[in-house]
Amino acid sequence: MLGYVIPDKSELKVREYEIYTGYYCGICKYIGKTYGQLPRMALSYDAAFIALLLASVDPVPDAPKQEHCAVHHIKYKTVIRNRAIEYSGDLMLILAWFKLLDDAQDEGKVSAKAGLTTLRRIYRKLEKKHPSLCALIDKKLSALNQLERENCRSIDRVAEGFAQVMDGIFRDGITWLYGPEEAATEPEEEKKPTLHETFAKLGYHLGKWIYLIDAADDIEKDLENGTYNPLLYRFEYRDGRGTYEAGSLSEAETADQFRTRIDERLRFNLYHYLAVISESVEDLDIHKNYGIIENVIYFGLNRRTDDVLKRIQPVKRRRIHESI
């Protein structure tokens, strides 16, 4: 479900791209040093953005270093280290554990079962290090998986689970990095949103967007594989057999016809979530790397949304990030 929160490289300045890859490489090196080389495979580019965003409200400037890399061993790479990078590295492994758990239980994948064996000891350490985060993700994803197994027709209900996961990730990250939320001292009607509340709001709507854009992106694949997709049930895809329709049978439609029929409502929801995410970012007191964050929010997410709605296939990730 991850893999959508990336920058628009063509709009990044050279220095900004270097910092962005420095965060990515920092997370990769942290995972390798702390948990071993194999778990590095769980890393995604979303992790770099989460670390960048969590670190952005810290006034302490980044301290990039040039280091060798096992993959690019000939040349030096920019590497950044901070506690936000550590948190994002831990988070990626936690999410990888639950993804493997889901694949092993629902699809019986041998590769997923092997991955669980590899990550089990690491996850136990992470569970002790981040107990509340692991408990929240376990609870919310379990509820989400149950709704998916029931072929839930409400997009709001199924997307709510992942939205609460992202809410919890950012709220826990801010607490882990900067301490617990302070008690309110202002009257409720005059109180400004706290740092924790702003990040939670941002994470919540980012979770809604990720779940919905993933569903929109996977319509054809889910039709072919017969797997659950909330859009097919919510908007009653007409397959001619009544599989997704709540009422009587009707003439079958193609995936393109279905996309055209739901386009206006899908577009409205996706861009509404992006608008709230943008508002939340503007409410933050950002001290560094604003250009990168702005690029992801205003260019990367919008472009990815437009690509999915127009069915434009993205350039393969390895080509987009070939210099990482």
Average pLDDT over residues 116-130: 94
User: For 244-248, 255-259, 288-292, which range has the lowest pLDDT when averaged over its residues?
Assistant: 244-248
pLDDT higher than 70, residue 183: no
Nearest by Cα to 32 from 70, 84, 65, 67? 70
* Residue 4 maps to a domain: no
20-64 pLDDT, tens digit each? 999 999 999 999 999 998 888 888 889 999 999 999 999 999 999
pLDDT score of 186: 61
* Residue 1 maps to a domain: no
Nearest by Cα to 312 from 215, 217, 213? 217
What is the number of alpha carbons within 13 Å of residue 222 lying toward its C-beta?
A: 19
pLDDT higher than 90, residue 72: no
User: For 22-36, 109-123, 179-193, 296-310, which range has the lowest pLDDT when averaged over its residues?
Assistant: 179-193
pLDDT higher than 80, residue 120: yes
* Residue 157 maps to a domain: yes
pLDDT band at 320 (very low <50, low <70, confident <90, very high): very low
DSSP helix/strand/coil, 227: coil
Query: Measured between alpha carbons, how far is 314 from 324 in angstroms, rounded to an integer?
Result: 18
| For the chain, percent of residues with pLDDT exceeding 70 | 90
* Residue 44 maps to a domain: yes
pLDDT score of 323: 38
Amino acid at 218: D
Q: Which residue has the higher pLDDT, 107 or 282?
A: 282
Computed over every residue of the chain, the mean pLDDT equals 89
* Residue 109 maps to a domain: yes
* Residue 48 maps to a domain: yes
User: For 49-53, 99-103, 267-271, which range has the lowest pLDDT when averaged over its residues?
Assistant: 99-103
* Residue 264 maps to a domain: yes
Helix (H) or strand (E) holding 77: strand 76-79
Query: Measured between alpha carbons, how far is 244 from 43 in angstroms, rounded to an integer?
Result: 35
Query: Measured between alpha carbons, how far is 106 from 122 in angstroms, rounded to an integer?
Result: 22
Provide the residue range defining the domain that includes 117. Answer: 9-181+190-320
pLDDT higher than 80, residue 4: yes
User: For 44-58, 62-76, 272-286, which range has the lowest pLDDT when averaged over its residues?
Assistant: 62-76
pLDDT higher than 80, residue 182: no
* Residue 37 maps to a domain: yes
Nearest by Cα to 80 from 36, 7, 35, 15? 15
Task: Report if pTM > 0.85.
Answer: yes
pLDDT score of 113: 81
The domain that contains 176 carries what CATH number?
Answer: 1.10.600.10
User: For 52-61, 192-201, 248-257, which range has the lowest pLDDT when averaged over its residues?
Assistant: 248-257
Q: Confirm if 45 and 301 have CB atoms less than 8 A apart.
A: no
pLDDT score of 312: 77
Kindly state the tokens that stand for 117: 């064996």
142-168 pLDDT, tens digit each? 999 999 999 999 999 999 999 999 999
pLDDT band at 189 (very low <50, low <70, confident <90, very high): low
Name the residue with tokens 């009422």: 247
User: CB-based burial of residue 248 (10 Å sphere; 0-12 exposed, 13-18 middle, 19+ buried)?
Assistant: exposed
Q: CB within 8 A of 33, min separation 6: which ones?
A: none
pLDDT score of 1: 55
pLDDT higher than 70, residue 179: yes
Average pLDDT over residues 68-92: 87
pLDDT score of 156: 95
Total tally of structural domains belonging to the chain: 1
Name the residue with tokens 């509820």: 143
Average pLDDT over residues 13-20: 95
pLDDT score of 313: 64
Average pLDDT over residues 12-17: 94
